[in-house]
Amino acid sequence: MSIAEIMMAVEAGYAAIGAGIAVIGAGLGIGNIGKSAMESIARQPESTGDIRSNMIVAAALVEGAAFFGIIVCLLVALA
C-alpha cells in the first residue's frame, strides 16, 4: 500500500467524521428550535400559527446547512 492510498483512506475517514458532526449539529439545532417553539406556544397560545411557521423556516435553514456540510464531506471523500 502506497502513501497516497493511505492518505486517501485517512481523508475519507475524516470526511465521514465531518458528515457525522454535521448531522449531530443539525439534530441538536432542530431540537433546540422545537424546544423554544413549544415554550413560546405555552406562554402565548394565541400566536401558535406564527411561531409554528417561523419554526419550520428555521428548521429548514438548519437542515439545509447540514446537507451542505454532508455534501462537502462527500466531495472530499470521493475526490
User: 24-71, pLDDT tens digit by residue?
Assistant: 999 999 999 999 999 999 999 999 999 999 999 999 999 999 999 889
> Which of 55 and 77 is assigned the larger pLDDT?
55
User: What does the alpha-carbon distance between residue 54 and residue 72 come to, in Å, rounded to a whole number?
Assistant: 27
Q: What DSSP letter does each residue of 15-59 carry, written as one string?
A: HHHHHHHHHHHHHHHHHHHHHHHHHHHHH-GGGHHHHHHHHHHHH
The answer, as to whether pTM is greater than 0.85, is no
Count of all residues that appear for the chain in the document:
79
pLDDT for 38 equals: 95
For domain 3-78, give the CATH number: 1.20.20.10
pLDDT for 53 equals: 95
Q: Which amino acid is at 55?
A: M
pLDDT tier, 13 (very low <50, low <70, confident <90, very high otherwise) = confident
